[in-house]
Structure formats: structure tokens, C-alpha cells
């Protein structure tokens, strides 16, 4: 083996040393092996046997990008995508990259800036840094890498102007700068990149008009400029880009009429012009056979378009998504809608449509979402709608619909969201509606329905607001007895004999019959009292233990000094990556000035590592309850592998029998509780609140995907980073305890009353992810209202969920939103988020949605025109 070949082995081993490999994918990499060419992910040149490709994508490895890779002098392809790498890319990483052709760090947790040394990679053809947390500007030298064919930095924190020079990249075929913070004008010389096929500048702060040179991009198949501040009338030359298959100009400030020249784009599959200021009628060419054969997505929503929806809608035979909501269309719903066999989403809401819902709607057999709310539609709900068996969302609210709800309605077994409110519907509700197992929202308020509400399933906990305004409805939810139904007494002993005398029956009938809601209220009140008593007793116990353990903590400080001595009196410090040396040693832990806060499980301090990185250390206050060292370490190592943008990363731990420390990343902007309740002079905006709710949901969804239950959701365990993003903290610490004892959970874990799911009070019920969903629902209401889960008044106790449910049911929306927001919030969006919070906080676990569904619902609320929920982030990264 030549010395140079040995460099490849040493470089890979050195690189591996800085990684955590939870799935042991790199276990065969050995420094004793002379030939790395058969190692996992390694490819060699068949002639020189030098390593020329390294593919470690999707292996769940974590750690820093090590300098060992610099030894691979003949490396052409490096793919480290889809892992949990963190930290910055060393600046000298690209200083020796003469042979490098393709580099991908996509979908990791990298931070820092793009190294300037990238500009020295003259042979580089592909560069992918998407879905990280890279900030700063693009290195100016990148525009002189003449061999570049693909640049992808989507989903980072990059900013500044995109400087002139992109026109030098004559071989460029793919550029994605989307979802960053770039500003200024679009690069004026982009037209010189005549081979470009994919251009995505979406979700930035670009302004000005489209550069004229863009008309030269005749090879371009995808052009996305969504979510910027671009303006002016789209130029006529846009129709010259005849290769376009996807054009997205949405959420800008374009105005005028839809360009006639768009009719030349006969390969177009997706056209999104929503959220602009377009006026006039829908052009006739848009529904011509020559144009529409391949069109799958057409979104014209949130403009000022008017006229009738063309009756030739049926010619769009490939159409899957059709949205013209929030315009000024009038006339009838086209009967040809039933000819769209591939259609999945139809949104005609917020227009001035009249007439009836055509029975032909039943022909749209693939339909999943139908939104017709806020129009002037009349007539009956067509029974043929039952043929749309895939229907998930149906919104017909705020129209003039009459007649009864079709008896076949319960056959739509996939229904999750139904809103029929504010119409003139009559008749009774089909009892079989209770069998809709996927149902999460069902609103029939403000109609003329009568009879008994269905019993079972979602309808056991349907909010009062969803049935109000129907004075002839009866049932326990509306506190109105049904005339033909006698109240049934509660049977306390199901094994008792049925042979009860007539006098005994009469005696039982005279007893007060308690409704389910009354029992829940009594149980909740009793549970709160027990919880307060338990907390008081345990706090007394903790204070006494703290006094007795003060000397122990002082002596434990010396144990924290990372001594390599194996003597058992020394503690064991494990850092999962990076520096394990503290600037101030253990003394920082005893310094009151470094204390960040404390909770049921311990006190949190901030300290600094030698590499300058701040971390947070939780000193656990439950040492007597902690499992054995082996189980403690196994659990912490498992949690240490979890990496997600909306979860606080576990960095390491420290163990002695009397002192346990859990080490986390430091999140600088404090916790959600302080932002909501301890800062009277400041107020989170509506968008900030929505982003926090979405971030919490994503973090929890990821935990549940990993089969991990949080157990301890509350606003003090939601941290806010410097960009306003929510990070869920303290997840699964309860698993360190020997058993999930209800007393321990209620006093130490769930120390803030109001977040606990009702099943915590029942020892026979299994604790599941649904408990987290309940706590999340309470958190949603806390974020929106700015109120604590339980408020103690002079002579009353106000439970947040009850207060919101009552206020919303009475139409007092303003009481459900933090008064500090004034009128600076979208009422419709707020109501939907509040309703989602109430659904998540349902008393019955089976009625609560899973967190993955919650994330998707939130995305639909935020961007109703995006049928796939396509926002700035993925659901689970």
C-alpha cells in the first residue's frame, strides 16, 4: 500500500472519530484495514484505487464536519445529506478541492456561514446546502465557478443582495435560493444562463420588476418567485418561455390583467397567480383544449377577478387543484365540475356565486376538499355528493342552503372537517354521523335543525359553539333534554341484578341524574384540589431536602471537573460532541448569577464551554427517584440522538449517585411563559404566535414519530430562539424515573396545573401520545389568549379551556384573543386555530388528532390555497 493511499484510510478514520453513528453503519471502518474501497459509502477509482466518492447520506450520523476529509485528495463526490451534522463547515474545508465535482450537506443542522474557500473549487459542478441554518451572504466568488451546474441553498438564513455575476455561469441548470432572506432586485444578468431549467427564488424579500434578460430562459421548466415583493405588470414576453411546466408568481404585488401570452405555454402543468392584484375576467384561452391538456394546478385565489367561472371548466381533464377563492366571481357553480375525474381540491369560497350546488358534483369521484363557504348558494345539499367517497374537507358555511343533511352523508367515511354553519338547513341529524371515526371538526351552528344530537364518537365532546343557534336541537351538549328520551341514571355496578322492583325503579328515577359534563367538572375540580395539596406537600419536602443536601452539592462540585480518574468518588461526564471543558468549571453551577430558572425536576444554569459555545445545564432534583446509572445513561444516549429544528438538542450528561446533570443546547430568548406573561411592555404579533404554535406542533410530531412521549408540556418548557422559532424542551425526562407514578407526574412533571389530560387522574388508563396532544391544545389556547391555563380570581377559579369554549360558543371571539393584539390579527384564521386547540384538548383521548395531522391542519389554515400544505418548512425534518 502506498503512503498516499494510506492517507485515504487515515482521513476517513479521522473523520469517523468526530461522528456519532447510532446505527453502526460505519462499524467496519477500521484503521487496521488497508483497503477502504469496500467500506460503507466509499467508492474508489478502479485504476488508482484512490477514494473518489463518499456517500453517507441518510445514515442518521451526527457530529461536526471533520477536517479528516481534507486528506481525500482525489475525492470527486461528497454526499453527507439527510443526517444530523451540526456546527459550521471549516473555512479551509474547500481549500484543497481541485478534484471535487459534487458536494451535498442538505438536510442537516449546520450553522455558520458558507466558507469563502468554496470559491477556489474551480471544478465544482453541484453544490447543495439546503435545509440547514446557514446564515450570512453568498460568497461573491461563487459566480466565477464556471463549471457550476447546480446551486441549492433552499431553507437557510442567508441574506443580502444576490450580486451581479450569475451570468458568468453558462452551464448553470439549477438554482434554488428559496426560503431565505435575500433582498434587493433579482439578478439582472440571469438571462445569460441560457441552459437554466429550474429557478426558485421564492420566500425571500426580492423587490422590483422582472429583469428583461429572463426572457432568454427558453429552456426553463420551473420558475418560482412566490412570496416576495415583486411588482408591476407581468411582461408579455413571459409567454416566450415555452418550456415552462410550472410557473408560480403568487404572493407578490403584480397587478393588471392576466397576460394573454400565457396561453402560449402549452406544456404548463402548474400555474399559481394567487395573492396578487390581478383584475378582469378569466381569459378564455385558459379553458381552451390547446392550452389545458396537461394543466394540473390552477390557483387564481386572492385577486380582484370577476365575471362567471367559465362553463368550459370540464376541458381541464388533468386538473387536480382548482382555487379561485377570494375574488368577485358571480353566477353559477359550473355543472362541468363533475367532469373533472382527477380533481382533488376545489375552492370557490369568498365569492358571489348563486344558484345551487350542482348534482353533477358527484362525478368528481377523486375530490378530497370542497370549499364553497361565503357565497350566496341556495337549494339543497345534493345527495350525489356521497359519490365523492374520498372527501376529507367540506365547507359550505355562510350560504343560503336549505333542506336536510342527506341521510347518506355518514357514508363519507374519510371526513375530517365539516362546516355547514350559518345556512337555513332543517330536519334532524343522521344518527350514523357518530360513526365517522376520522371526524375532527363538525359545525352546524346557526341553522334550523332539530332533534337529538348523535351519540358517540366525536359528538360526545362536540363544542357548544358548533351546535349553537339551533334552538330545537336537544342533547347533553346543549343542556336540553329531548322530549321523547327519558334521562338514564348512572349505573354504578354493572354486575348488579336486573330484577329491581317497580318501587325501586321509581326511587332511582327520583334521584338527581348527573350528566357526563357535570361529572367531568366535579372530577376536574377535585383533581385540581388534590394536585394543589400534593404540590404543597412535595415543595415542603423538596425545601427540606435542599437544605440537607447543600453540603453534598458543594462537594460534588469537585467531581464535575472531568477528571480521568476511575475512582468511584469522581463523576462521569459525557458530551455527545464537541468540547467537554467548561470555562468556569463546576463553580458556574453554584453561581446564582448563572441560574436561568427552575422547575419540578431541577434548576437550570447557563455556562460556557472552552470553544465559546453556551450551553444549559439542568441539575436534577429527583436523585432519589432516578433509575440506575446504566438505565440513566442508556436513556440519555437515546435522547441524545434526537435532532430536530424545533427540539432543544441534548448535548450530554453527568452522573454520580448523588448528582445528575443533563446538558442541553442554550436557547437565548427565554421560554414562552415569559414572553406571554412576564413581559407586560411587549406583545408577540399574530404571526409570531402562529409560528410558535406550528413549531411546537412540528417538534411534538417528530417526537411521536420516534415513539417518544413528552409528558411535561407547558409554556415554560417551550423555548424561543433568536429567530422567534419555538423549541420544545425537557422532552421525555419522566422516562428517567422508575415508574410513571401519577403522584410524581402530577407534582413534579406536570407542575403547572391545567395542562394535564383527564386520563392522568385515572390509574387504569394508559398514558399515550394523546396526553401530549391535550397539553398542546391547552398551549395553543394560552398562546392565542395570553392567559394562563388556570387563573385564580378573588372568589373564583377560571379554567382556560372552559372559558374559551364558552366565549367562542357565544360568538365573543374578541375574548378568545389576547387583547394586546387589538385588531391586528386575521379573525377567521384565529377562530380556526382556537377551534383546533379545543379539539386537541378534548376530554376523550380518541377524539384528539395525532400531531402529524395537527401540523397539516395548521399549514392548511395558514396557506389555504396550498393544497399540499406547502409552506416554508417540512412537517418533520
Q: Which residues contact 565 (CB under 8 A, 6 or more apart)?
A: none
Confidence of residue 453 (pLDDT cuts 50, 70, 90): very high
Q: What is the pLDDT of residue 480?
A: 86
Contact between residue 644 and residue 698 where contact means Cβ atoms under 8 Å apart: yes
In this model, does residue 115 exceed pLDDT 80?
yes
Residue 794 located in a structural domain = yes
Cross-strand partners of 618: 604, 662
In this model, does residue 796 exceed pLDDT 80?
no
Residue 642 located in a structural domain = no
Q: Which residues contact 544 (CB under 8 A, 6 or more apart)?
A: none
- Residue 15: its H or E element: helix 3-17
Pairwise pLDDT comparison (543 vs 832), residue with the higher score:
832
Q: What is the pLDDT of residue 681?
A: 61
pTM over 0.95: no
Residue 356 located in a structural domain = no
Compute the distance between CA of residue 477 and CA of residue 463 in angstroms, rounded to an integer: 8
Pairwise pLDDT comparison (162 vs 26), residue with the higher score:
26
In this model, does residue 19 exceed pLDDT 70?
yes
Compute the distance between CA of residue 688 and CA of residue 200 in angstroms, rounded to an integer: 25
Compute the distance between CA of residue 649 and CA of residue 90 in angstroms, rounded to an integer: 22
Q: What is the pLDDT of residue 623?
A: 54
In this model, does residue 553 exceed pLDDT 60?
no
DSSP 745: I
In this model, does residue 473 exceed pLDDT 90?
yes
Work out the percent of the chain whose per-residue pLDDT is above 90. 49
Residue 610 located in a structural domain = no
Q: Which range of residues forms the domain containing residue 730?
A: 686-738+750-877
Lowest mean pLDDT among 54-58, 80-84, 261-265, 533-537: 533-537
Walk across the sheet containing 109-110 and list its strands.
19-20, 62-63, 84-87, 109-110
Contact between residue 320 and residue 368 where contact means Cβ atoms under 8 Å apart: no
Confidence of residue 560 (pLDDT cuts 50, 70, 90): very low
Maximum C-alpha span of the chain: 102
Instruction: Give the rounded distance of the alpha carbon of 695 from its chain centre.
Output: 5
Average pLDDT estimate for 407-414: 92
Helix (H, G, I), strand (E, B), or coil: what is residue 350?
coil
Residue 876 located in a structural domain = yes
Compute the distance between CA of residue 185 and CA of residue 558 in angstroms, rounded to an integer: 58
Instruction: Give the rounded distance of the alpha carbon of 303 from its chain centre.
Output: 28
Q: What is the pLDDT of residue 757?
A: 84
In this model, does residue 587 exceed pLDDT 80?
no
Compute the distance between CA of residue 161 and CA of residue 144 in angstroms, rounded to an integer: 17
Q: How confident is the model over 687-728, as pLDDT tens digits?
A: 999 999 999 999 999 999 888 888 888 998 999 987 788 999
Q: What is the pLDDT of residue 96?
A: 76
Helix (H, G, I), strand (E, B), or coil: what is residue 444?
coil
Work out the percent of the chain whose per-residue pLDDT is above 70. 80
The number of beta carbons lying within 10 Å of the beta carbon of residue 641 is: 16
Compute the distance between CA of residue 669 and CA of residue 677 in angstroms, rounded to an integer: 14
3-state secondary structure 182-250: EEEECCCCHHHCCCCCEEECCCCEEEECCCHHHHHCCCCCEEECCCCEEEECCCHHHHHCCCCCEEECC
Cross-strand partners of 207: 185, 229
Tell me the helix, strand and coil percentages in the chain, rounded to 5: 35, 20, 45
Q: What is the pLDDT of residue 777?
A: 96
Q: How confident is the model over 486-518, as pLDDT tens digits?
A: 444 333 333 333 333 333 333 333 333 334 344
Contact between residue 89 and residue 105 where contact means Cβ atoms under 8 Å apart: yes
3-state secondary structure 748-813: HHCCCCCCCCHHHHCCCCCCCHHHHHHHHHHHHHHHHHCCCCEEECCCCEEEHHHHHHHHHHCCCH
Lowest mean pLDDT among 465-474, 507-516, 645-654, 694-703: 507-516
Average pLDDT estimate for 358-384: 95
C-alpha closest to that of 376 among 345, 398, 361:
398
Q: Compute the mean pLDDT over every residue in the chain, rounded to the nearest whole number.
A: 81
Q: Could you tell me whether strands 595-599 and 77-79 are parallel, antiparallel, or unpaired per DSSP bridges?
A: unpaired
The number of beta carbons lying within 10 Å of the beta carbon of residue 225 is: 24
Q: What is the pLDDT of residue 592?
A: 62
Lowest mean pLDDT among 537-546, 583-592, 601-610, 639-648: 537-546
Q: What is the CATH number of the domain that holds 802?
A: 1.10.510.10
Residue 101 located in a structural domain = no
Residue 690 located in a structural domain = yes
Most confident of 154-158, 779-783, 869-873: 779-783
Residue 228 located in a structural domain = no
Q: Which residues contact 41 (CB under 8 A, 6 or more apart)?
A: 25, 26, 54, 55, 56, 59
In this model, does residue 786 exceed pLDDT 60?
yes
In this model, does residue 147 exceed pLDDT 70?
yes
In this model, does residue 369 exceed pLDDT 70?
yes
| Total count of domains within the chain | 1
Q: How confident is the model over 49-94, as pLDDT tens digits?
A: 899 999 999 998 999 998 888 888 899 999 999 998 999 998 888 8
Contact between residue 714 and residue 738 where contact means Cβ atoms under 8 Å apart: no
Q: What is the pLDDT of residue 92?
A: 83
Contact between residue 418 and residue 397 where contact means Cβ atoms under 8 Å apart: no
Lowest mean pLDDT among 30-44, 289-303, 627-641, 776-790: 627-641
Compute the distance between CA of residue 351 and CA of residue 333 in angstroms, rounded to an integer: 11
Amino acid at each position: 500500500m502506498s503512503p498516499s493511499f494510506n492517507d485515504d484510510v487515515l482521513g476517513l478514520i479521522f473523520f469517523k472519530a468526530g461522528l456519532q453513528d447510532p446505527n453502526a453503519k460505519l462499524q467496519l471502518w477500521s484503521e487496521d484495514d488497508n483497503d477502504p474501497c469496500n467500506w460503507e459509502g466509499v467508492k474508489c477509482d478502479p485504476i488508482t484505487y484512490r477514494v473518489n466518492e463518499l456517500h453517507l447520506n441518510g445514515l442518521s450520523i451526527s457530529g461536526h464536519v471533520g477536517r479528516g476529509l481534507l486528506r481525500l485528495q482525489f475525492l470527486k463526490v461528497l454526499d453527507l445529506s439527510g443526517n444530523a451534522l451540526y456546527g459550521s463547515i471549516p473555512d479551509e474545508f474547500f481549500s484543497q478541492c481541485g478534484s471535487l465535482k459534487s458536494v451535498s450537506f442538505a438536510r442537516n443542522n449546520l450553522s455558520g456561514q458558507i466558507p469563502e474557500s468554496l470559491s477556489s473549487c474551480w471544478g465544482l459542478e453541484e453544490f447543495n446546502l439546503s435545509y440547514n441554518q446557514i446564515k450570512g451572504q453568498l460568497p461573491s466568488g461563487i459566480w466565477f465557478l464556471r463549471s457550476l451546474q447546480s446551486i441549492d441553498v433552499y431553507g437557510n438564513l442567508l441574506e443580502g443582495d444576490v450580486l451581479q455575476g450569475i451570468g458568468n455561469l453558462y452551464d448553470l441548470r439549477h438554482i434554488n435560493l428559496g426560503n431565505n432572506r435575500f433582498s434587493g432586485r433579482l439578478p439582472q444578468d440571469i438571462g445569460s444562463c441560457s441552459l437554466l431549467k429550474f429557478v426558485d427564488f421564492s420566500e425571500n424579500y426580492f423587490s422590483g420588476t422582472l429583469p428583461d434578460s429572463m426572457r432568454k430562459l427558453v429552456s426553463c421548466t420551473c420558475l418560482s418567485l412566490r412570496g416576495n415583493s415583486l411588482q408591476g405588470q407581468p411582461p408579455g414576453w413571459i409567454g416566450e418561455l415555452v418550456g415552462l411546466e410550472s410557473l408560480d408568481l403568487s404572493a407578490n404585488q403584480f397587478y393588471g390583467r392576466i397576460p394573454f401570452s400565457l396561453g402560449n405555454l402549452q406544456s404548463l402543468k402548474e400555474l399559481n397567480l394567487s395573492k396578487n392584484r390581478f383584475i378582469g375576467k378569466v381569459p378564455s384561452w385558459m379553458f381552451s383544449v390547446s392550452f389545458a391538456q396537461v394543466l394540473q394546478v390552477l390557483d387564481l385565489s386572492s385577486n380582484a377577478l370577476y365575471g362567471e367561472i367559465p362553463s368550459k371548466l370540464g376541458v381541464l381533464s388533468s386538473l387536480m387543484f382548482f382555487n379561485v377563492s377570494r375574488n368577485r366571481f358571480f353566477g353559477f357553480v359550473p355543472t362541468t365540475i363533475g367532469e373533472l375525474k382527477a380533481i382533488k381540491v376545489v375552492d370557490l369560497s369568498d365569492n358571489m356565486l348563486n344558484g345551487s350546488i350542482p348534482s353533477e358534483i358527484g362525478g368528481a369521484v377523486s375530490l378530497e376538499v370542497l370549499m364553497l363557504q361565503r357565497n350566496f348558494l341556495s337549494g339543497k345539499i345534493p345527495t350525489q355528493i356521497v359519490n365523492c367517497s374520498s372527501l376529507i374537507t367540506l365547507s359550505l358555511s355562510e350560504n343560503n342552503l336549505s333542506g336536510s343533511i342527506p341521510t347518506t352523508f355518514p357514508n363519507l367515511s374519510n371526513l375530517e372537517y365539516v362546516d355547514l354553519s350559518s345556512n337555513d338547513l332543517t330536519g334532524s341529524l343522521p344518527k350514523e354521523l357518530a360513526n365517522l371515526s376520522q371526524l375532527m371538526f363538525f359545525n352546524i351552528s346557526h341553522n334550523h335543525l332539530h332533534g337529538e344530537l348523535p351519540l358517540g364518537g366525536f359528538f360526545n365532546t362536540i363544542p357548544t359553539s358548533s351546535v349553537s343557534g339551533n334552538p330545537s336541537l336537544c342533547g347533553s351538549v346543549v343542556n336540553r333534554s329531548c322530549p321523547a328520551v327519558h334521562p338514564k341514571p348512572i349505573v354504578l355496578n354493572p354486575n348488579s341484578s336486573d330484577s329491581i322492583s317497580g318501587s325501586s325503579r321509581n326511587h332511582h328515577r327520583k334521584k338527581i341524574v348527573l350528566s357526563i359534563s357535570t361529572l367531568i367538572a366535579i372530577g376536574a375540580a377535585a383533581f385540581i384540589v388534590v394536585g394543589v395539596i400534593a404540590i404543597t406537600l412535595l415543595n415542603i419536602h423538596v425545601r427540606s431536602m435542599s437544605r440537607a443536601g447543600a453540603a453534598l452539592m458543594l462537594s460534588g462540585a469537585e467531581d464535575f471537573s472531568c477528571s480521568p480518574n476511575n475512582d468511584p468518588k469522581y463523576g462521569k461526564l459525557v458530551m455527545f460532541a464537541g468540547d467537554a471543558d467548561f470555562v468556569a468549571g463546576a463553580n458556574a453551577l453554584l453561581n446564582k448569577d448563572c441560574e436561568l430558572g427552575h422547575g419540578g425536576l431541577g434548576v437550570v444554569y447557563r455556562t460556557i464551554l472552552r470553544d465559546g459555545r453556551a450551553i444549559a445545564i439542568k441539575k436534577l432534583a429527583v436523585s432519589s427517584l432516578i433509575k440506575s446509572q446504566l438505565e440513566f445513561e442508556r436513556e440519555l444516549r437515546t435522547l441524545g440522538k434526537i435532532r430536530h429544528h424545533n427540539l432543544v438538542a441534548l448535548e450530554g450528561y453527568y452522573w454520580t449517585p448523588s448528582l445528575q446533570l443533563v446538558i442541553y443546547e442554550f436557547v437565548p430568548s427565554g421560554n414562552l411563559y415569559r414572553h406571554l406573561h412576564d413581559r407586560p411592555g411587549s406583545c408577540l404579533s399574530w404571526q409570531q404566535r402562529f409560528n410558535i404554535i406550528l413549531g411546537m406542533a412540528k417538534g411534538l410530531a417528530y417526537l411521536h414519530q420516534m415513539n417518544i412521549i413528552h409528558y411535561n408540556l407547558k409554556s415554560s418548557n417551550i423555548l424561543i430562539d433568536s429567530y422567534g422559532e419555538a423549541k420544545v424542551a425537557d422532552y421525555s425526562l419522566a422516562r428517567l424515573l422508575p415508574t410513571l407514578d401519577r403522584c410524581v407526574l402530577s407534582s413534579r412533571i406536570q407542575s403547572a396545573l391545567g395542562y394535564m389530560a383527564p386520563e392522568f387522574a385515572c390509574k387504569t388508563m394508559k398514558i399515550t401520545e394523546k396526553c401530549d396532544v391535550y397539553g398542546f391544545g391547552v398551549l395553543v389556547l394560552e398562546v392565542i389568549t395570553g392567559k394562563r391555563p388556570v387563573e385564580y380570581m378573588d372568589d373564583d377559579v377560571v379554567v382556560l379551556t372552559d372559558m374559551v369554549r364558552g366565549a367562542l360558543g357565544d360568538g365573543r371571539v374578541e375574548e378568545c384573543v389576547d387583547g394586546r393584539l387589538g385588531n391586528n390579527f386575521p379573525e377567521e384564521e384565529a377562530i380556526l386555530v382556537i377551534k383546533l386547540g379545543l379539539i386537541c384538548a378534548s376530554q376523550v383521548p380518541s377524539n384528539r388528532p395525532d400531531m402529524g395531522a395537527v401540523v397539516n391542519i395548521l399549514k392548511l389554515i395558514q396557506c389555504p390555497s396550498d393544497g399540499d400544505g406547502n409552506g416554508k418548512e417540512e412537517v418533520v425534518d
